[in-house]
Structure formats: structure tokens, C-alpha cells
């Protein structure tokens, strides 16, 4: 009986062994699997990203560009052992002053007293005709795109760059502000994203310096010294610090000296339609006082080869000089309808012919200044116009002739006149602060409301040093006639406008919106309106100009004013 019981007990134990083994096997397998899962979770990926793909390089001659801590969406080119930027990138990102003359195959760069010229696809360059050699071609075409050698651009622009291979890339610095840095305390990798499963970009060694871009809980965004931007574990970083780089100053920014009057400018334009117009000077000047500059409309573009029409007079200049008054000869581009300003200014040869002619008349008549009044330009002409101003400024600076440029009120599409660049190269930037409403306007209105004048001043001095800004005021008024949808007007001088008010018994009242005396009447269904330019309106304009502390006032044109205007201007000039 007892043996049977023992046998049953052993039999029960034997029956229990397989489940135990199964459980143990499950536990072992689960443990191994869990261990492998944990190991997999914490293991570091060894997959490497293709750096050509990382930088977006699609051809062997492309060079990735990293400016500061950002990979750029444009590429440089590697040509014959040198890096090149396309000209649009140069002008938009580094230096706008590299001028392209496609017709004559030239690149031109203007400094205060010198002009550098490059013949595209030829080695070397010249400064004022003196040849300079380079081991590279400064400007060349790749397909239809013009490229400038980075080393040549660097001769005129303060930026620093370092070139690296495999893949081709250049690290560029244009800013030398303090940078956060750290050192690598153990050999590791820079990864594309923060996380040990992210692809490897590059290896870094113990002691390498990296720039810290941002810091997260376990990873930091960094940039290596050779321009690779990614992430590294915080535990691999040490010796956090701030580095203040030494600015790259291989190019010393030149000083653009200017000539200026030692008092506020009081310029008045003298309109001359021909040689006989010179004889009206002293008749018009009879009531004027405190004028220190007269600008006669003597010169105009006469042909498309840079020729000038010329109504100048030596005795005219001498008579003004005897009174201590300067003469700034005006040159316009609207003397003849056959003139194509774009054709003249877009050709370096023609542009320089025009400049030589201008400097010739400046010397012949002993002019103190040249006043450029080029109106109606197209946006396409803007880059050539400002190059003309740059090149003319060199000759004016050498000859000590004042250069002033007339501009529309900067409202609407006139940014291509590039007032900011005018403010660098020219001595004075003049706002023609009138023609808010003009002969072709579809509605009647003020020639120069105070809001219009104020916006013109504020927009200009946001780009140009106020010490170089002159605001032009109108000596004329427009009389408006509106009949249904038909609007017409005539420009009249101040005396004629006052007589018109008196002859038609018009009761005027001060309009706070325009800061002008306004009057109207209706006759035979026609609405007649006038916003007067008079001593009251001019006084308000001058007070706004005084508040903005600009260089002075100009007036269009002498002979259209009433005598009391000069007293108002004198009050502005002398406080």
C-alpha cells in the first residue's frame, strides 16, 4: 500500500516537470527578447547620411554655402580651383555695388575716388586704367549665368570664408558677434537629428570645438568648424564658453566724403527755355533774399550718345558768384522726345561720354555743382541710373563739384531710384515735394498737402542722412475744373492764383487736412477748386522740414512766388 502511494507521488512530480521547463523556457526566451529589445532601444545607429544629399548638391562643381549657422538654399561653383558666387547672389547677399554691363562685357565697382573694371572671362582687372593681375578669372559665365570669384568679391567686401572638400562646401562669416562654444570630451558623432537612431553626419574627436546653436534635455544642436550642422549628446560636451571672433577686415570700408554748405541750403531753380532765359535772372531775383544756390535748367540729354544741349553762360555764373551765390547747373532727360535714357545709361561707353561732357561744362562755366533731374525712368533703368550717379560722383569728388540728385516723393513705385545709395555717393538728395496732383490726375486735389510732404520727408530720411536731404516746395498752384467725369487743371503762379480768387469772389478757408487755404465755386455746372500755395501753406511745410532737421529747402521755381515767401523762408533758415 505504501509503495503504491510513493509511486503515485513520483508520477505526479514527473508530470509536473514539462510545464516548469516550458515556463522556464518562456522566461528565458522572454528575457533574451526583452534584453535584445532594450539593447536595440539604447543602441546607436551606424547609418551614415549621404552628405551630398544633406547639402543638396547635385553636380560635382557645386559648393554648399553655410553662412554663419545656416545652410543656404543657393550654391557656389568650384571652377579651376576657386569658389564663385553668381552675380545675383553677390548683389543680394554680400554687396550690391558690383555693376554688370552685359552689352560691353564688363563688371564695374565704384569707390569714392576710383573705378575698378573687369573684362568678363579675362584674368585680372584695372583700377582707373591701371592693370592688376589675379591668379583667377574674376568674372566668367557658366552657361547663361555670370559668376564672380569669391576672392575678387572679398577684395571689396568684408566677409570670411573657408573651403572644404568631401563634399565641397564653404563656411562663410559675415557677422562676428560672440558665439557659444563647447568642446567634445569623448570621441562621438554628429547626427542629423537629436536621437541615437538618427543618421550620422560626421565624426568628432575628443577636444574638437563645436558651436552651440540650441540645447535640449539630452541633445544639443551644434555646428562644426567645417560647416556641418547637426546634434550631439549633451554628455559628450564639456568646457562651455563664449568665443568672440576677430572680425575679418581685409577690406577697409572707404570714406565717402561729401561737400556741403556750412549753412542751410536755400536753392531755387531758374527755368530757362533757351539762351534768352538767362536774361531773366535778376528780374526774378529782385525780391529774393537769403538765396545761396541758383540752379539754372541749362543742360539736357541731346542725343543717345551722351551729348548735351547747353544754354550756359559764364557771365551768369560770375554775376551770382559776386553775390556769394553758388550755381548748380541742372541737367534733365526730357529736352527731346527722341532721347532714350535707358540706352544712354545702360552703356558704359555712353555713360562715361555723358559724364565727361558734364564735367566739361562744369569746368567751362565754373559751376559749383551739378543737379541731376532724370524723370520718368523705368524700373529696368534703375540699376543703370544709380551706376551713373556712382561714376559721376567720383569725378565730382575729384573736382570738388557738388552733386545733387532730384527725386520724386518716395510714394509708389520709385524705389528703383535707390535713394539710399544716392545718399552714399551724392552730396545732396533732393525731394521734389510737389505734384501730388498734377495735370493728368483723375481727380482734383492739392499740389502738395502737408501729409504728402511729411510722408516724403519721413520715407526719405529713413534711407538717407537728414543732413543730405533737401525738400523742394512749389511756388505754383493748380486751378481745377471738374465737369462730370472730366477733370482738367492749369498751373499758375502765386500772383495769378491770388487774382483768380479775387476776380471770382471766392471765399477761402483754412483746410486742416492739407494745411492750405482752400476755395471753390460752381459756374454752369462746372466745379472750380483751388488749394492755394501761399505764405501760409509754405510756412507749415517749412516747419515740418525744420522738425526733421534736414539740410535745407529748394523751390520750383523762381519767378512764380510772391515777395513775402522769401521772408517765410528766411525765418526757416535763421530759426
Task: For residue 107, give the C-alpha cell.
Answer: 563688371
CATH for the stretch 53-164: 3.30.457.10
For the chain, the maximum distance between any two Cα atoms, rounded to a whole number of angstroms, is: 155
Among the listed residues 417, 318, 404, 408, the one whose alpha carbon sits nearest the alpha carbon of residue 358: 404
C-alpha cell of residue 200: 550620422
Helix H or strand E encompassing 356: helix 348-364
Domain with CATH 3.30.457.10 in the chain: 53-164
Alpha-carbon distances of 110 from 52, 97, 116, 131, 170, rounded to whole Å: 38, 7, 6, 16, 27
Element (H, E) at 527: strand 526-531
pLDDT per residue, tens digit, the chain (575 aa), is: 454 445 555 566 556 666 677 677 676 665 555 545 444 455 899 999 999 999 999 999 999 999 999 999 999 999 999 999 999 999 999 999 999 999 999 999 999 999 999 999 999 999 999 999 999 999 999 999 999 999 999 999 999 999 999 999 999 999 999 999 999 999 999 999 999 999 999 999 999 999 999 999 999 999 999 999 999 999 999 999 999 999 988 888 899 999 999 999 999 999 999 999 999 999 999 999 999 999 999 999 999 999 999 999 999 999 999 999 999 999 999 999 999 999 999 999 999 999 999 999 999 999 999 999 999 999 999 999 999 999 999 999 999 999 999 999 998 899 999 999 999 999 999 999 999 999 999 999 999 999 999 999 999 999 999 999 999 999 999 999 999 999 999 999 999 999 999 999 999 999 999 999 999 999 999 999 999 999 999 999 999 999 999 999 999 999 999 999 999 999 999 98
Residues of the chain with CATH 3.20.20.80: 265-475+539-574
* Rounded distance between C-alpha atoms, residue 475 and residue 558, angstroms: 8
The three cell numbers of residue 426 are 551724392
**Alpha-carbon span 221 to 232, nearest angstrom:** 7
Question: What CATH number should be reported for the domain whose range is 176-243?
Answer: 2.30.30.40
CATH superfamily of 265-475+539-574: Glycosidases (3.20.20.80)
CATH 2.30.30.40 domain range(s) in the chain: 176-243
Amino acid at each position: 500500500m505504501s509503495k503504491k502511494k510513493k509511486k503515485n507521488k513520483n508520477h505526479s512530480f514527473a508530470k509536473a516537470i514539462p510545464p516548469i521547463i516550458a515556463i522556464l523556457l518562456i522566461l528565458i526566451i522572454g528575457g533574451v527578447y526583452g534584453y535584445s529589445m532594450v539593447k536595440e532601444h539604447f543602441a546607436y545607429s551606424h547609418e551614415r547620411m549621404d552628405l551630398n544629399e544633406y547639402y543638396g548638391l547635385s553636380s560635382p562643381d557645386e559648393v554648399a554655402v553655410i553662412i554663419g549657422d545656416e545652410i543656404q538654399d543657393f550654391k557656389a561653383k568650384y571652377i579651376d580651383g576657386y569658389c564663385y558666387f553668381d552675380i545675383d547672389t553677390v548683389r543680394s547677399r554680400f554687396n550690391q555695388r558690383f555693376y554688370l554691363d552685359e552689352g560691353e562685357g564688363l563688371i564695374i565697382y565704384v569707390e569714392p575716388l576710383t573705378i575698378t573694371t573687369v573684362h568678363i572671362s579675362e584674368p585680372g582687372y584695372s583700377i582707373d586704367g591701371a592693370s592688376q593681375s589675379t591668379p583667377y578669372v574674376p568674372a566668367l559665365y557658366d552657361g547663361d549665368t555670370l559668376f564672380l570669384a569669391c576672392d575678387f568679391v572679398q577684395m571689396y567686401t568684408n566677409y570670411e570664408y573657408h573651403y572644404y572638400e568631401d563634399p565641397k562646401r564653404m563656411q562663410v562669416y559675415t557677422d562676428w558677434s560672440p558665439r557659444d562654444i563647447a568642446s567634445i570630451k569623448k570621441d562621438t558623432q554628429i547626427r542629423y537629428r537629436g536621437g541615437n537612431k538618427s543618421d550620422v553626419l560626421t565624426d568628432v574627436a575628443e577636444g574638437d570645438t563645436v558651436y552651440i546653436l540650441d540645447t535640449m534635455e539630452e541633445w544639443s544642436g551644434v555646428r562644426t568648424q567645417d560647416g556641418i550642422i547637426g546634434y550631439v549628446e549633451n554628455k559628450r560636451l564639456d568646457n562651455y564658453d563664449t568665443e568672440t571672433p576677430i572680425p575679418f577686415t581685409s577690406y577697409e570700408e572707404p570714406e565717402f566724403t561729401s561737400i556741403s554748405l556750412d549753412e542751410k541750403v536755400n536753392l531755387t531753380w531758374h527755368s530757362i527755355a533757351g539762351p534768352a532765359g538767362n536774361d531773366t535772372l535778376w528780374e526774378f531775383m529782385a525780391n529774393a533774399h537769403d538765396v545761396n544756390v541758383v540752379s539754372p535748367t541749362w543742360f539736357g540729354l541731346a542725343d543717345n550718345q551722351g551729348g548735351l544741349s547747353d544754354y550756359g553762360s559764364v557771365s551768369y555764373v560770375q554775376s551770382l558768384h559776386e553775390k556769394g551765390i553758388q550755381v548748380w547747373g541742372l541737367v534733365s532727360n526730357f529736352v527731346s522726345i527722341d532721347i532714350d535714357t535707358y540706352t544712354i545709361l545702360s552703356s558704359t561707353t555712353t555713360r562715361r561720354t555723358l559724364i565727361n561732357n558734364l564735367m566739361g561744362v562744369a569746368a567751362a562755366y565754373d559751376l559749383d555743382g551739378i543737379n541731376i533731374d532724370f524723370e520718368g525712368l523705368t524700373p529696368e533703368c534703375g540699376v543703370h541710373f544709380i551706376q551713373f550717379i556712382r561714376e559721376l560722383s567720383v569725378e565730382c569728388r575729384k573736382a570738388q563739384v557738388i552733386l545733387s540728385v532730384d527725386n520724386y516723393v518716395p510714394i509708389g513705385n520709385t524705389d528703383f531710384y535707390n535713394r539710399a545709395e544716392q545718399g552714399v555717393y551724392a552730396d545732396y538728395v533732393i525731394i521734389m515735394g510737389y505734384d501730388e496732383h498734377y495735370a493728368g490726375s483723375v481727380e482734383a486735389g492739392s499740389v502738395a498737402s502737408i501729409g504728402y510732404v511729411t510722408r516724403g520727408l519721413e520715407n526719405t530720411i529713413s534711407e538717407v542722412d537728414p543732413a543730405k536731404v533737401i525738400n523742394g516746395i512749389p511756388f505754383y498752384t493748380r486751378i481745377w475744373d471738374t465737369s462730370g467725369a472730366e477733370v482738367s487743371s492749369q498751373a499758375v503762379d502765386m500772383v495769378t492764383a491770388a487774382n483768380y480768387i479775387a476776380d471770382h469772389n471766392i471765399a477761402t478757408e483754412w483746410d486742416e487736412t492739407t494745411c492750405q487755404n482752400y476755395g471753390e465755386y460752381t459756374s454752369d455746372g462746372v466745379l472750380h477748386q483751388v488749394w492755394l500755395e501761399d505764405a501760409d501753406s509754405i510756412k507749415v511745410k517749412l516747419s515740418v522740414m525744420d522738425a526733421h532737421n534736414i539740410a535745407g529747402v529748394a523751390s520750383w521755381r523762381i519767378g512764380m512766388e510772391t515777395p513775402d515767401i522769401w521772408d517765410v523762408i528766411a525765418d526757416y533758415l535763421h530759426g
